[in-house]
Amino acid sequence: MTNRLSLSAILLFLFFSASSAQHNVRTERISGSAGDVLEDNPVGKLKVYVYELPSKYNKKLLQKDPRCLTHMFAAEIFMHRFLLSSPVRTLNPDEADWFCSPIYPTCDLTPTGLPLPFKSPRMMRSAIQLISSNWPYWNKTEGADHFFVVPHDFGACFHYQEEKAIERGILPLLKRATLVQTFGQRNHVCLDQGSITIPPFAPPQKMHAHLIPPDVPRSIFVYFRGLFYDVNNDPEGGYYARGARAAVWENFKNNPLFDISTDHPTTYYEDMQRSIFCLCPLGWAPWSPRLVEAVVFGCIPVIIADDIVLPFADAIPWEEIGVFVAEKDVPELDTILTSIPTEVILRKQRLLANPSMKQAMLFPQPAQPGDAFHQILNGLARKLPHDGSVYLKAGEKVLNWTAGPVGDLKPW
Partner 1 sequence: MKLSALHQSYLNRRRSPLDSSVDAPSKSFLAVFWLVLHCLCCLISLLLGFRFSRLVFFFLVSTPTTNLYSPPFRPNLPPPRIDLTPSNATTAEVKTSSSRVVVGRHGILIRPWPHPDPVEVMKAHRIIERVQREQKAVFGAGGKGSRTVIAVTPTYVRTFQALHLNGVMHSLMLVPYDVVWIVVEAGGVSNETASIIGKSGVRVIHVGFDQRMPNTWEDRGKVEVLMRLRALRVVKEEKLDGVVMFADDSNMHSMEFFDEIQNVKWFGAVSVGILAHSGNAEEMVMSMDKRREMVDEVEERSSLPVQGPACNATDKLIGWHVFNTLPYAGKSAVYIDDVAAVLPQKLEWCGFVLNSRILWDEAESKPEWVKEFGLLNENEGVESPLSLLNDPSMVEPLGSCGRQVLLWWLRVEARADSKFPPGWVIDPPLEITVAAKRTPWPDVPPEPPTKKKDQMSLSQGNNNVVVIPKQQQQQQQQQQQRSSKVRKPKRRSKRNKHEAKPTDTTTQVSSSTKHHQERN
Residue 407 as a binder of partner 1 (CB under 8 A): the answer is no
**216-217-219-224 Cα dihedral, nearest 10 degrees:** 50
Rounded distance, CA 28 to CA 23, Å?
9
Which residue in the set 57, 160, 223, 252 belongs to the binding site for partner 1 (CB under 8 A)? 252
Residue 278 as a binder of partner 1 (CB under 8 A): the answer is no
User: Which one of 7-15, 96-104, 126-134, 253-261 is the stretch in contact with partner 1 (CB under 8 A)?
Assistant: 253-261
Which amino acid appears at position 125 of this protein? R
User: Which one of 62-70, 211-219, 361-369, 371-379 is the stretch in contact with partner 1 (CB under 8 A)?
Assistant: 211-219
* CA 372 vs CA 35, 146, 211: distances in Å: 18, 19, 20
Closest approach, Cβ 271 to partner 1, in A, equals: 15
Do residues 408 and 125 touch, judged by C-beta distance below 8 A?
yes
Closest CA to 75 of 335, 372, 311, 323: 372
Residue 355 as a binder of partner 1 (CB under 8 A): the answer is no
Rounded distance, CA 139 to CA 143, Å?
7
Rounded distance, CA 196 to CA 377, Å?
10
User: Which one of 2-10, 95-103, 174-182, 245-253 is the stretch in contact with partner 1 (CB under 8 A)?
Assistant: 245-253
Residue 136 as a binder of partner 1 (CB under 8 A): the answer is no
Closest approach, Cβ 107 to partner 1, in A, equals: 27
Q: Tally helices (H) and strands (E) across the chain.
A: 15, 10
Sheet arrangement for strand 196-197: 48-50, 98-100, 146-150, 178-181, 196-197
- Binding track over 163-192 against partner 1, x by CB under 8 A: x--xx-x---------------xxxxx---
Which residue in the set 342, 366, 387, 402 belongs to the binding site for partner 1 (CB under 8 A)? 342
The angle subtended at Cα 121 by Cα 119 and Cα 123, nearest 5°, is 70
Which residue in the set 53, 345, 390, 392 belongs to the binding site for partner 1 (CB under 8 A)? 345
Which residue in the set 339, 385, 388, 396 belongs to the binding site for partner 1 (CB under 8 A)? 339
Q: List interacting residues with partner 1 (CB under 8 A).
A: 25-26, 162-163, 166-167, 169, 185-189, 213-215, 217-219, 221, 235-239, 242-244, 246-247, 250-257, 276, 306-307, 327-328, 330-332, 334-335, 337-340, 342, 345-346, 349
